[in-house]
Amino acid sequence: MYSNKLGRLMFGLKGLKVTSACGAFERAAARSGFSWAAVCKQRTLWQQRSACARMHQTGVRSAVHTTVDHGEVKRFQLLANKWWDEEGEFAALHAMNDLRVPFVRDNLLNAQRERHPGQPLAGLRILDVGCGGGLLSEPLGRLGATVLGIDPVEDSVRIAQLHAAHDPDLRDRVSYQACTLEELSGEGEPQQQPEQGVTQFDAVVASEVVEHLADLDTFAICCSHVLKPGGSLFITTLNKTNLSYALAIVVAEQLLHIVPRGTHDWEKFISPVELERLLESNGFLVQSVQGMLYNPISGAWSWTNNTEINYALHAVKQDDEAQDGSSPSGGHNEATNS
C-alpha cells in the first residue's frame, strides 16, 4: 500500500524546492493513511525523551571528549555480519557508492596535477572513518588510493579484513584498524595501540557516520589533526529537519523497514549550516554542499539541489597562513535547511 504512494512522493521531491518539500510529504502522507500532525507529535515526544536522557549523559560526555557512543557501538556490533548483504540492512549504503565514490574521486582529482590512467587516486592516502565492513574503503582502493579504514566495532573490522583478503588488488592498498578517530590522531587514550607510523592523510571520508557520534567537536579536531594542509574532508549525513525525521525515521525505519528500527537518533542530525560553522571554527573551508535523495522503490540515489534530507559536504583544511590571513568565507551557496 505504501510503496506506490511513497514512490510518487520520492519522484516529486527530486525536483522540489526546499520550501515546498514539507508540503509534498504532508499531502502524500495523508493519502498513505498517516498524518503529518502525528509525525510531528511523535517527534516532539522524542525530543522530550532525548532531552531528559541528555541531562543524565551531558556530564559524562563532556568529561570524556570521545566520538564513540557506546549504544551505537552495540547496535552495529549486532549487524556486523550483514555488511556485505547487498539486499539486507545496508542495501542503501551499497547503492550510495554510485554517488559518494565519484564525489570523493572527482573533488580529489580537481586538486591533483598528476594523472594516473586507470588508477586516478594513485599516490593518495585516504582515511575512512567509521568504515564498517569496508563498503567505501574497497572501491576507493580500487581507484588506486592507499586506504586505512578505522572503526570501533571490532567485528566490523574483522569482516572488512576478510572481505578485502579475497581481492589480491586490495591487499597492498586497503588496511583496517579497530580503533577510534581520537586514538589514531593522538587525542584519546588508546585502549589498543593504533597502527605505528600513521602520519597525515590527503583525505578523510566520514560517510553516514557523524549522525552516530557522541561529540562532533572532537571529531572535527581529530580530522584536522590527521589531515595534511590542503587535505579534503568528505562527509555524507542527514539534515536536521521535520522532513528528515519523517522520511529517515518514520518511513525508513518504522514503515518500510529499509533500515533497522532505532538506527537513527534525530537529535544527532545536523544541518549543513551548523556543520559548516563547526568545521570552519576548526580550520576548514567548506567547498560544496549537495543534496542527495534515496528512492526506496528503485533502490537508487540521485543528486538534488534539495538538502532537506541527505547531503554530501566537501571541505578543505586550510594551511596556517590562510587561517592567519583571513577568516573562512564559505565560498558556496548550496547549503539550505529549515
Alpha-helical (H) ranges within 117-238 are 137-142, 154-164, 181-185, 216-226
- Write down the H helix ranges in 201-285: 216-226, 242-244, 272-280
- Is residue 264 part of an annotated ligand binding site? no
Reference 57, options 41, 68, 46; nearest CA is: 68
| Backbone φ and ψ of 328, nearest 5° | -60, 145
Which structural domains are found in the chain, ordered by start? 70-188+198-239+269-318 (3.40.50.150)
pTM of the model: 0.78
Cα–Cα distance for residue pair 137/121, rounded to 1 Å: 13
> Is 329 labelled as part of a ligand binding site?
no
| Mean pLDDT along residues 185-211 | 73
142 is in an annotated binding site: no
The reported pLDDT for the residue numbered 289 is 98
pLDDT tens for residues 29-73? 455 455 545 545 455 454 444 444 443 444 433 445 899 999 999
Does 274 show up as a binding residue in the annotation? no
Distance, CA of 175 to CA of 31 (rounded, Å): 49
Most confident of 76-80, 110-114, 185-189, 246-250: 76-80
Confirm or deny that 86 is annotated as ligand binding.
Answer: no
Q: What is the DSSP string of 44-105?
A: HHHHHHHHHHHHHHHHHHHHH--S--HHHHHHHHHTGGGTT-TTSTTHHHHHHHHHHHHHHH
Q: Are strands 300-304 and 146-150 parallel, antiparallel or unpaired?
A: unpaired
